[in-house]
Amino acid sequence: MTLDPITLTVIQSGLQQVCDEMDLSFSRAAFSPVIAEANDRSDGIYAAEDGSLIAQGSMGLPVFVGVMQFSTAQIIKMIAAGSVIAPEPGDIYIVNDPYLGGTHLMDVRFAMPVWRDGKIFCWLSNTGHWPDTGGAVPGGFSASATAVEQEGLRLPPVRLFKQGTLDPEIYAIICSNIRVADQRIGDVKAQAAALYVGQSRLTRLLDRYGDDTVREAIAELRARAAQQMRAHIAQIPPGTYRASAFIDSDGVVNEPLEIRLAITADSDQLTFDFAGSSAPCVGPMNSVLATTHSAVYLAMRHIFPDVPISAGAFEPLNILSPEGTFLDARYPRPVSGCAAEVSQRIAEAVFAALVGPLPDLVTASPAGSSGNFALGGEVPEEGRSYVMYQISGGGYGGYAGGDGISNGCSTIGISKAPPVEIMEQQFPVLYHRYALHEGSAGAGKYRGGFGLDYEVEVLKGTARASFVMDHGRTGPQGALGGEDGGANRVEVTQGGKSFVPEHLSKAQDIALSAGDRVRVRTPGGGGYGPSAERDPALVAEDVRLGRITTEAAQRVYGKPSPDDC
């Protein structure tokens, strides 16, 4: 190697900085709260030849770890094959086709080549979650879709910006097919601006160190990331580790879907085999291949957070083709649940398989649901319609260092949930409760965290409620003798009568009118280690604070004895 290790480190942090600046500028300028506040977006740098990941922003949404390398690779392939028009400087492609290396339709990708001396040096790409891309329901999470066309507008890679200028014709087509189109222009400009920011920062880096040096550094960094990941994997004793995770249903057919995972550790490499997982499903709980890979990557990054996100880090992770299962769905299978829910069940399977061999690094299963509750309503007397989203967290798994935290963010997210006061300002609803889901923590030496328990009433007009959640049948898995966390529970009160939706955690278009209520209790985290080993003082504290009942404490922990209370 001719490159000194110090220049290498400096270029590494320089590339990281380019991505972080793209992330920051995208969020700051974006309109949609889902991007601006929830940071449901990601930015990265990709190789010119094959789209492989060079660097990705550290503030990106975790579910996008590695994803854009698949869509960039597709664009490069299609350009080579002549099925996509080759770019000129200043061109930006837009694409959201899930089957071309994507997630669900709402995750819209931009990709732009960076030119040096008339040639493409690398690609910059970003993804932003658009609040709507058309389809049967506002927001795109149709729990009962049976084909991708019902989920929204599907865009192949086309040049939305040509030589730096927005193509008004393509844009007009998009706007005619999505809801609240008048606000999208702000997000589109923000998404493009982030790529321009990245381009100017990357150009500065290249000018300073020279294209050849940076190219050499990129290759070397890739090798080093692989080396670092291999060193971590080497601490896993050789063997095959199995686990399953279950999705309540696909939203259409009321049967659980199984993710069956066998991870084989062989010195410094892990092989992920999903053979035996359920077949592609009728409803929208399918995953596409890029999302399945990304879910494995993000789970591994939760376990080894110090390895930089790059193609090198993924090299030692050998994911066998899940062809024939719902984790590799093909056109026209509906896929809206892949990013928000299926990916989290995949991560849960990875955690559950590896907590045995890596008990100090892996936690019991977290709630692992984005808890999407969408309410689309109308207030005729005010001439007003609205779409409200309530996302929610759940308990995290217990772990070697202590109890899981309560109401943690989804495994694949980093976004905050909106405050009740903001929801009530914006929508004609009233929250009656926003509280701990008492009793939901999985028991264990270190118990899980608690889920959330909220109840909301429609104050005016009419509305339709939809739910895309999970863990309604069984709670998140306990580990090493710990017990499962409490399950998710949705309860709708309609005209004074309460019921639980047929699919428990998934439902669409439940008609509500003023006075009707929805109550959601989200899952608690799995327990870690046998509950008999729990410190009695901690059990007594949970009883004293009303987080668990005395009866539950005695039943599960055998303590505190009635005398202690």
- Restricting to residues 25-54, which ones interact with other proteins according to CB under 8 A? 25, 27-33, 36-37
Among 21, 43, 151, 483, binds other proteins (CB under 8 A): 21
Give min distance, CB of 431 to other proteins, in A. Answer: 7
Among 119, 330, 384, 432, binds other proteins (CB under 8 A): 432
Give min distance, CB of 220 to other proteins, in A. Answer: 10
- Restricting to residues 216-275, which ones interact with other proteins according to CB under 8 A? 224-225, 227-228, 231-232
161 is an interface residue for other proteins by CB under 8 A: no
- Restricting to residues 305-324, which ones interact with other proteins according to CB under 8 A? 305-307
**Structure-block tokens of residue 362:** 């892996």
How far apart CA 61 and CA 65 sit, in angstroms, is 8
Grouping H, G, I as helix, E, B as strand and the rest as coil, residue 364 is coil
82 is an interface residue for other proteins by CB under 8 A: no
416 is an interface residue for other proteins by CB under 8 A: yes
Grouping H, G, I as helix, E, B as strand and the rest as coil, residue 450 is coil
322-351 mask for other proteins (x: CB under 8 A)?
-----------------------------x
205 is an interface residue for other proteins by CB under 8 A: no
Total of residues contacting other proteins (CB under 8 A) = 86
| Edge-to-edge strand list for the sheet holding 489-494 | 429-437, 451-458, 517-521, 489-494, 497-499
How far apart CA 139 and CA 141 sit, in angstroms, is 6
401 is an interface residue for other proteins by CB under 8 A: yes
Q: Are 324 and 281 in contact (CB under 8 A)?
A: no
Place of tokens 């500065």: 204
How far apart CA 197 and CA 245 sit, in angstroms, is 41
The string of DSSP codes covering 242-289 is: EEEEEES--SSS-S-EEEEEEEEEETTEEEEE-TTPPPP-SSS----H
537 is an interface residue for other proteins by CB under 8 A: no
Determine which helix (DSSP H) or strand (DSSP E) holds 539, and give its type and residue range.
helix 536-544
Grouping H, G, I as helix, E, B as strand and the rest as coil, residue 159 is strand
User: Roughly what angle, to the nearest 10 degrees, separates helices 343-354 and 289-303?
Assistant: 40
How far apart CA 33 and CA 36 sit, in angstroms, is 5
158 is an interface residue for other proteins by CB under 8 A: no
352-371 mask for other proteins (x: CB under 8 A)?
-----------x--x-----
**Interacting stretch for other proteins, rule CB under 8 A, among 106-114, 166-174, 403-411, 555-563?**
403-411
172 is an interface residue for other proteins by CB under 8 A: no
**Phi and psi dihedrals of 498, rounded to 5?**
-105, 145
**Structure-block tokens of residue 44:** 């990265």
422 is an interface residue for other proteins by CB under 8 A: yes
Among 149, 268, 424, 509, binds other proteins (CB under 8 A): 424
- Restricting to residues 104-133, which ones interact with other proteins according to CB under 8 A? none
**Structure-block tokens of residue 253:** 């057919």
Among 152, 284, 316, 408, binds other proteins (CB under 8 A): 408
Closer to other proteins by Cβ: residue 139 or 397: 397
Give min distance, CB of 260 to other proteins, in A. Answer: 22
Closer to other proteins by Cβ: residue 79 or 405: 405
User: Roughly what angle, to the nearest 10 degrees, separates helices 211-233 and 184-209?
Assistant: 100
538 is an interface residue for other proteins by CB under 8 A: no
Give min distance, CB of 125 to other proteins, in A. Answer: 20
